[in-house]
Amino acid sequence: MKSLLNIASSVVLGAFLLLPVAAQAQQQAVSLDELLKKVESGRIQESKENRQREKAFAADKSQQAKLLANVKAELAQQEKRSAELDKLFEENDKKIAEAEKRLHERMGTLGELFGHITSAAGDTRGNFENSLVSIDHPGREKFLDNLVKVTSEGTELPSIEQIEGLWFELQREMTEQGKIVRLTADVARGEGTQQEGIVRIGTFNAITDKGEYLKYEAGRLSVLPRQPSGKYVSEAGALAGLQSGFTKVGIDPTGPSGGSLLSALIDTPTIVERWHQGGLVGYVISGIGVLAILLAIFRLIVLSAVSGKVRSQLKSDTPNENNPLGRVLAAAQSNKDADVETMELKLNEAILKELPKLTSGESLLKIIAAVAPLLGLLGTVTGMILTFQAITIYGAGDPKAMAGGISSALITTVLGLIVAIPTILMHTIVAGRSKHIIHVLEEQAAGIVAEHQEG
């Protein structure tokens, strides 16, 4: 019974296994015999392919085992090499420590000396970057870079030649500070860089052959965009054209990169620029100041001419009506038969007629002298208001801007005082001249009245 079941199971299983083959062969088979043959041949072919696959799988497994063995061997070799390298590292570390110990023992007290050399070389390197001497002695920084590298790393000692080289460069820098040297160098201008003749004034400043001050920064020479005003440019031009002898020249000891003193001198506004800072009020004050000067000069000329004519009239007995005294004398002659009181009144009338001509312009000068400071104060107050408004908007973070605004506001006060003080002096002079002439007229009139009373 069991055998029958086994046979039946085998038949069923074989049928299931042969279904794909039968399905493939059914398309071409025309009879049961042919179908059987085709199923048999397909089974044989599939069995052959399976054996080939099994053989390939076995070969791959053998190859993988071989590769695994090779990797394990390589790992063992690298672990051995790592152990050898660790041992070599420890040995080298000990050798380095022993070498450093021997180096420190040999250096002894020289270590502090080499530290000072390193510090001096570093400071000198920084100074040479902005030194004008580097224009005609370039390449000094590379030598100092090597010296700093040697002394800072501590792996070797600086040589005697390197130490002497540092001493020589310091000595040369100090010597060049007292020399005025003419040379040719690249100078940067607005239109580009070009070769120009320059004059190096020690380590302080450099100027062109035209007397223009130069700025030296990062190894580059350039013309200052704004030159110092006044005598400094003319003195620099005189030095540039000087072949021998001595001349005055302005130098900035704070450095060739513009320097704080030279920068302050350049940034200082000129008289014209300060005048423009006064604005509209400043222009008005200047206008009335010019008017006061012209008026005072005109009155001085007129009074000088009148005073000359009066002096000539004093020397003559004949009245000449081209001067105030002559006209007063003519009034006295025309009333010589009148009584004393009438004569006195007539002379006073003649003098009063001359007073407006002699005192003309004095009131205007007095008004200008009084109004000019008030206008200056007005300009200052308005300027301060604008300054405080700007501080309210932008804050007071920049003291220079705030100080600049206050300085501009005070310009009008300065202008007002500049106009008022000379105007007062000129008013005093003009009034003195006119009072002198009036005094002569009154003196002569009093004399005439006294003579008439005696007669």
* pLDDT (tens digit per residue) in 108-136: 666 667 777 778 888 888 788 778 888 88
The pLDDT value given to residue 256: 58
Q: How far is CA 417 from the centre of its chain?
A: 34
Distance CA 394, CA 80 (A): 73
* Average pLDDT, integer, range 344-357: 89
Distance CA 197, CA 98 (A): 59
User: Over 70: is that where the pLDDT of 14 sits?
Assistant: no
* Average pLDDT, integer, range 16-26: 42
- What share of the chain has pLDDT > 90, as a percent? 17
Q: 157 with 182: CB under 8 angstroms? A: no
The pLDDT value given to residue 257: 52
Distance CA 46, CA 44 (A): 6
What pLDDT, in 10s, does the model give residues 324-350? 888 888 888 888 778 888 888 988 898
User: Over 80: is that where the pLDDT of 141 sits?
Assistant: no
Between 447 and 7, the more confident residue is 447
pLDDT band at 427 (very low <50, low <70, confident <90, very high): very high
Of 40-44, 167-171, 234-238, 255-259, least confident by mean pLDDT is 255-259
pLDDT band at 1 (very low <50, low <70, confident <90, very high): very low
The pLDDT value given to residue 414: 92
For residue 106, give Cα distances in angstroms to 58, 111, 164: 71, 9, 21
The amino acid that residue 239 corresponds to is L
Could you tell me the two tokens for 255?
């450095």
Between 77 and 337, the more confident residue is 77
pTM over 0.85: no
Distance CA 365, CA 76 (A): 114
Could you tell me the two tokens for 221?
């020479």
User: Over 50: is that where the pLDDT of 267 sits?
Assistant: yes
Q: 195 with 237: CB under 8 angstroms? A: no
The three state secondary structure string of the chain is CHHHHHHHHHHHHHHHHHHHHHHHHCCCCCCHHHHHHHHHHHHHHHHHHHHHHHHHHHHHHHHHHHHHHHHHHHHHHHHHHHHHHHHHHHHHHHHHHHHHHHHHHHHCCHHHHHHHHHHHHHHHHHHHHCCCHHHHCCCHHHHHHHHHHHHHHCCCCCCHHHHHHHHHHHHHHHHHCCCEEEEEEEEEECCEEEEEEEEEECCCEEEECCCCEEEEECCEEEECCCCCCCHHHHHHHHHHCCCCCCCCCCCCCCCCCCCHHHHHHHHCCCHHHHHHHCHHHHHHHHHHHHHHHHHHHHHHHHHHHHHHHHHHHHCCCCCCCCCHHHHHHHHHHHCCCCCHHHHHHHHHHHHHHHHHHHCCCHHHHHHHHHHHHHHHHHHHHHHHHHHHHHHHHHCCCCHHHHHHHHHHHHHHHHHHHHHHHHHHHHHHHHHHHHHHHHHHHHHHHHHHHHHHHHC
Of 70-84, 181-195, 433-447, least confident by mean pLDDT is 181-195
The pLDDT value given to residue 107: 62
pLDDT band at 236 (very low <50, low <70, confident <90, very high): confident
The pLDDT value given to residue 30: 54
User: Over 70: is that where the pLDDT of 21 sits?
Assistant: no
pLDDT band at 5 (very low <50, low <70, confident <90, very high): very low
Distance CA 424, CA 422 (A): 5
pLDDT band at 187 (very low <50, low <70, confident <90, very high): confident
Q: Which long-range contacts (CB under 8 A, 24 or more apart) does 99-102 make?
A: none
Q: 194 with 173: CB under 8 angstroms? A: no
What pLDDT, in 10s, does the model give residues 294-306? 999 999 999 999 9
pLDDT band at 24 (very low <50, low <70, confident <90, very high): very low
User: Over 70: is that where the pLDDT of 229 sits?
Assistant: yes
The pLDDT value given to residue 404: 67
Half-sphere exposure of residue 135: CA atoms within 13 angstroms, side-chain side: 32
The pLDDT value given to residue 106: 66
Of 208-212, 216-220, 355-359, 434-438, least confident by mean pLDDT is 216-220
The pLDDT value given to residue 243: 79
Between 436 and 38, the more confident residue is 436
Of 183-187, 238-242, 425-429, least confident by mean pLDDT is 238-242
The pLDDT value given to residue 8: 40
The pLDDT value given to residue 108: 62
User: Over 70: is that where the pLDDT of 255 sits?
Assistant: no
φ, ψ of residue 360 in degrees (nearest 5): -60, 135
Report the candidate in 380, 379, 424 with the shortest Cα–Cα distance to residue 289.
424
The pLDDT value given to residue 3: 42
Of 88-92, 181-185, 322-326, 391-395, least confident by mean pLDDT is 391-395
Of 39-43, 54-58, 166-170, 449-453, least confident by mean pLDDT is 39-43
Could you tell me the two tokens for 299?
């009155």
* Average pLDDT, integer, range 163-188: 86
**Four-point Cα dihedral 13, 14, 16, 19, nearest 10:** 180
